[in-house]
Structure 1
Amino acid sequence: MWRDLFAPTFFLPPPSPRSDVPATRDDVVRVSLATAVKFVSDLHQKEVDAHPPTEALRDWEQRAQKYADETMEKADADGIDNVRQTWTAIHRVKAARKGEIFQPREPYPFSRYWK
Protein backbone atom coordinates (compact mmCIF):
# COMPACT_ATOMS: atom_id res chain seq x y z
CA MET A 1 0.00 0.00 0.00
CA TRP A 2 2.76 2.50 0.89
CA ARG A 3 4.77 1.69 -2.21
CA ASP A 4 2.55 3.96 -4.33
CA LEU A 5 2.62 6.92 -1.94
CA PHE A 6 4.55 9.07 -4.40
CA ALA A 7 2.54 7.97 -7.44
CA PRO A 8 0.35 10.61 -9.10
CA THR A 9 -3.06 11.05 -7.53
CA PHE A 10 -6.05 11.29 -9.83
CA PHE A 11 -9.37 12.53 -8.53
CA LEU A 12 -11.60 11.17 -11.24
CA PRO A 13 -15.22 10.43 -10.46
CA PRO A 14 -15.93 6.76 -9.90
CA PRO A 15 -17.74 4.92 -12.66
CA SER A 16 -21.53 5.09 -12.47
CA PRO A 17 -22.19 1.45 -11.64
CA ARG A 18 -20.05 1.06 -8.55
CA SER A 19 -20.32 -2.69 -8.63
CA ASP A 20 -17.88 -2.90 -11.55
CA VAL A 21 -14.90 -1.99 -9.32
CA PRO A 22 -14.21 -4.79 -6.87
CA ALA A 23 -13.79 -3.71 -3.26
CA THR A 24 -10.67 -5.87 -2.95
CA ARG A 25 -8.51 -3.67 -5.22
CA ASP A 26 -5.85 -1.80 -3.26
CA ASP A 27 -5.52 1.08 -5.74
CA VAL A 28 -9.13 2.27 -5.37
CA VAL A 29 -10.35 3.99 -2.23
CA ARG A 30 -13.81 5.44 -1.80
CA VAL A 31 -14.17 8.20 0.75
CA SER A 32 -16.39 11.21 1.23
CA LEU A 33 -15.46 14.51 -0.38
CA ALA A 34 -14.71 16.01 3.05
CA THR A 35 -12.28 13.19 3.82
CA ALA A 36 -10.56 13.58 0.45
CA VAL A 37 -10.18 17.34 0.89
CA LYS A 38 -8.82 16.90 4.42
CA PHE A 39 -6.35 14.29 3.14
CA VAL A 40 -5.06 16.58 0.40
CA SER A 41 -4.88 19.53 2.79
CA ASP A 42 -2.96 17.53 5.39
CA LEU A 43 -0.61 16.16 2.72
CA HIS A 44 0.08 19.67 1.46
CA GLN A 45 0.77 20.90 5.00
CA LYS A 46 3.21 18.03 5.58
CA GLU A 47 5.08 18.99 2.41
CA VAL A 48 5.22 22.65 3.46
CA ASP A 49 6.46 21.69 6.93
CA ALA A 50 9.08 19.35 5.48
CA HIS A 51 10.49 22.00 3.13
CA PRO A 52 10.05 25.44 4.73
CA PRO A 53 11.38 28.41 2.79
CA THR A 54 14.78 29.35 4.12
CA GLU A 55 15.79 32.80 5.26
CA ALA A 56 18.63 32.82 2.74
CA LEU A 57 16.24 32.34 -0.17
CA ARG A 58 13.88 34.99 1.12
CA ASP A 59 16.81 37.38 1.66
CA TRP A 60 18.11 36.68 -1.85
CA GLU A 61 14.71 37.50 -3.35
CA GLN A 62 14.48 40.74 -1.36
CA ARG A 63 17.97 41.82 -2.43
CA ALA A 64 17.16 41.05 -6.07
CA GLN A 65 13.96 43.09 -5.86
CA LYS A 66 15.82 45.98 -4.19
CA TYR A 67 18.48 45.91 -6.93
CA ALA A 68 15.80 45.93 -9.65
CA ASP A 69 13.95 48.82 -7.99
CA GLU A 70 17.15 50.87 -7.61
CA THR A 71 18.12 50.20 -11.24
CA MET A 72 14.70 51.30 -12.49
CA GLU A 73 14.78 54.44 -10.32
CA LYS A 74 18.20 55.32 -11.75
CA ALA A 75 16.92 54.65 -15.28
CA ASP A 76 13.93 56.92 -14.62
CA ALA A 77 16.23 59.67 -13.39
CA ASP A 78 19.07 59.35 -15.94
CA GLY A 79 17.27 57.80 -18.92
CA ILE A 80 17.16 54.15 -19.94
CA ASP A 81 19.99 54.56 -22.46
CA ASN A 82 22.30 56.06 -19.83
CA VAL A 83 22.20 53.12 -17.41
CA ARG A 84 24.26 50.16 -18.59
CA GLN A 85 21.92 47.47 -17.20
CA THR A 86 18.78 48.88 -18.85
CA TRP A 87 20.60 49.65 -22.10
CA THR A 88 21.88 46.07 -22.27
CA ALA A 89 18.48 44.60 -21.43
CA ILE A 90 16.69 46.66 -24.08
CA HIS A 91 19.20 45.80 -26.81
CA ARG A 92 19.10 42.14 -25.84
CA VAL A 93 15.28 42.11 -26.26
CA LYS A 94 15.47 43.97 -29.58
CA ALA A 95 18.04 41.49 -30.90
CA ALA A 96 15.94 38.52 -29.77
CA ARG A 97 12.90 39.94 -31.60
CA LYS A 98 14.97 40.10 -34.78
CA GLY A 99 16.22 36.55 -34.26
CA GLU A 100 19.73 37.76 -33.55
CA ILE A 101 22.06 37.15 -30.63
CA PHE A 102 23.08 40.23 -28.69
CA GLN A 103 26.78 40.31 -27.89
CA PRO A 104 27.63 43.11 -25.48
CA ARG A 105 30.91 44.88 -26.03
CA GLU A 106 33.67 43.20 -24.05
CA PRO A 107 35.99 45.42 -22.02
CA TYR A 108 39.59 45.64 -23.12
CA PRO A 109 42.09 43.58 -21.14
CA PHE A 110 43.99 45.54 -18.53
CA SER A 111 47.25 45.12 -20.43
CA ARG A 112 46.09 47.48 -23.19
CA TYR A 113 45.62 50.29 -20.70
CA TRP A 114 49.07 49.79 -19.25
CA LYS A 115 50.96 50.06 -22.53
Structure 2
Amino acid sequence: MSETIILRSSAIPAPATVFQAGCPSRTILDHVTSKWGVLILVALAVGPLRWSELRRRAEGISEKMLAQTLKTLEGDGFVHRDAQPVIPPRVDYSLTGRGEELVALLGPLVDWIGEHAEDIVSR
Protein backbone atom coordinates (compact mmCIF):
# COMPACT_ATOMS: atom_id res chain seq x y z
CA MET A 1 0.00 0.00 0.00
CA SER A 2 1.33 3.44 -0.83
CA GLU A 3 0.23 6.96 -0.17
CA THR A 4 0.78 10.10 -2.18
CA ILE A 5 2.82 12.98 -0.84
CA ILE A 6 1.82 16.36 -2.26
CA LEU A 7 4.74 18.73 -2.74
CA ARG A 8 3.33 21.97 -4.12
CA SER A 9 2.21 21.07 -7.64
CA SER A 10 3.56 17.52 -7.93
CA ALA A 11 2.39 14.25 -6.43
CA ILE A 12 5.01 11.74 -5.37
CA PRO A 13 3.94 8.17 -4.61
CA ALA A 14 5.65 6.89 -1.47
CA PRO A 15 5.46 3.51 0.22
CA ALA A 16 3.39 3.91 3.39
CA THR A 17 6.07 2.14 5.43
CA VAL A 18 8.65 4.88 4.82
CA PHE A 19 7.06 6.93 7.60
CA GLN A 20 7.11 4.09 10.14
CA ALA A 21 9.88 4.22 12.74
CA GLY A 22 11.10 0.67 12.10
CA CYS A 23 11.17 0.90 8.31
CA PRO A 24 14.54 -0.18 6.81
CA SER A 25 14.32 2.77 4.45
CA ARG A 26 15.17 5.03 7.40
CA THR A 27 18.61 3.41 7.64
CA ILE A 28 19.30 3.77 3.93
CA LEU A 29 18.00 7.34 3.96
CA ASP A 30 20.38 8.12 6.82
CA HIS A 31 23.36 6.63 4.94
CA VAL A 32 22.58 8.30 1.63
CA THR A 33 21.63 11.74 2.92
CA SER A 34 24.43 12.13 5.42
CA LYS A 35 26.72 15.05 4.58
CA TRP A 36 29.56 12.80 3.55
CA GLY A 37 27.37 10.15 1.92
CA VAL A 38 25.93 12.61 -0.58
CA LEU A 39 29.32 14.16 -1.34
CA ILE A 40 31.07 10.82 -1.87
CA LEU A 41 28.28 9.51 -4.10
CA VAL A 42 28.22 12.65 -6.23
CA ALA A 43 32.04 12.73 -6.41
CA LEU A 44 32.03 9.19 -7.82
CA ALA A 45 29.61 10.23 -10.57
CA VAL A 46 32.62 11.33 -12.67
CA GLY A 47 34.02 7.79 -12.62
CA PRO A 48 36.26 5.61 -10.45
CA LEU A 49 38.41 7.47 -7.92
CA ARG A 50 41.17 6.47 -5.56
CA TRP A 51 41.11 7.15 -1.83
CA SER A 52 43.27 10.28 -2.06
CA GLU A 53 41.20 11.66 -4.95
CA LEU A 54 38.00 11.21 -2.94
CA ARG A 55 39.57 12.87 0.08
CA ARG A 56 40.57 15.89 -2.02
CA ARG A 57 37.13 16.18 -3.64
CA ALA A 58 35.29 16.05 -0.30
CA GLU A 59 37.32 18.74 1.43
CA GLY A 60 37.27 18.51 5.20
CA ILE A 61 36.47 14.81 5.50
CA SER A 62 38.69 12.95 7.95
CA GLU A 63 40.31 9.64 7.04
CA LYS A 64 38.12 7.91 9.62
CA MET A 65 34.91 9.42 8.21
CA LEU A 66 35.91 8.63 4.62
CA ALA A 67 36.64 5.01 5.54
CA GLN A 68 33.38 4.70 7.48
CA THR A 69 31.29 6.32 4.74
CA LEU A 70 32.82 4.21 1.97
CA LYS A 71 32.32 1.03 3.99
CA THR A 72 28.67 1.93 4.65
CA LEU A 73 27.93 2.84 1.03
CA GLU A 74 29.68 -0.33 -0.14
CA GLY A 75 27.62 -2.39 2.31
CA ASP A 76 24.44 -0.79 0.97
CA GLY A 77 25.43 -1.73 -2.58
CA PHE A 78 25.99 1.82 -3.89
CA VAL A 79 29.79 1.77 -4.11
CA HIS A 80 32.17 -0.88 -5.47
CA ARG A 81 35.66 -1.26 -3.97
CA ASP A 82 38.28 -2.63 -6.35
CA ALA A 83 41.48 -3.56 -4.50
CA GLN A 84 44.27 -4.46 -6.91
CA PRO A 85 47.04 -6.76 -5.67
CA VAL A 86 49.97 -4.50 -6.51
CA ILE A 87 52.68 -2.78 -4.52
CA PRO A 88 51.99 -0.14 -3.42
CA PRO A 89 48.36 -1.15 -2.91
CA ARG A 90 45.84 0.44 -5.26
CA VAL A 91 42.16 0.70 -4.43
CA ASP A 92 39.62 2.30 -6.73
CA TYR A 93 36.07 3.18 -5.76
CA SER A 94 33.22 3.43 -8.23
CA LEU A 95 29.45 3.52 -8.31
CA THR A 96 27.51 0.32 -8.81
CA GLY A 97 24.45 0.30 -11.04
CA ARG A 98 22.32 1.03 -7.98
CA GLY A 99 24.69 3.87 -7.05
CA GLU A 100 24.44 5.37 -10.54
CA GLU A 101 20.65 5.24 -10.32
CA LEU A 102 20.76 6.99 -6.95
CA VAL A 103 23.19 9.69 -8.12
CA ALA A 104 20.90 10.43 -11.07
CA LEU A 105 18.32 11.40 -8.44
CA LEU A 106 20.72 13.15 -6.05
CA GLY A 107 22.42 15.20 -8.77
CA PRO A 108 19.51 17.63 -9.32
CA LEU A 109 19.17 18.08 -5.55
CA VAL A 110 22.87 18.90 -5.16
CA ASP A 111 22.66 21.26 -8.18
CA TRP A 112 19.66 23.04 -6.66
CA ILE A 113 21.42 23.41 -3.31
CA GLY A 114 24.53 24.78 -5.03
CA GLU A 115 22.46 27.37 -6.89
CA HIS A 116 20.52 28.54 -3.83
CA ALA A 117 22.88 28.01 -0.89
CA GLU A 118 24.21 31.56 -0.68
CA ASP A 119 20.72 33.09 -0.75
CA ILE A 120 19.46 30.70 1.91
CA VAL A 121 22.47 30.93 4.25
CA SER A 122 22.66 34.72 4.04
CA ARG A 123 19.12 35.17 5.43
TM-score norm. by structure 1 comes to 0.22
Whichever of the two has the greater Rg, that structure is: 1
TM-score norm. by structure 2 comes to 0.21
- Structure with bigger strand share is 2
Of structures 1 and 2, the one with the larger relative CO (CA 8 A, separation 6+) is 2
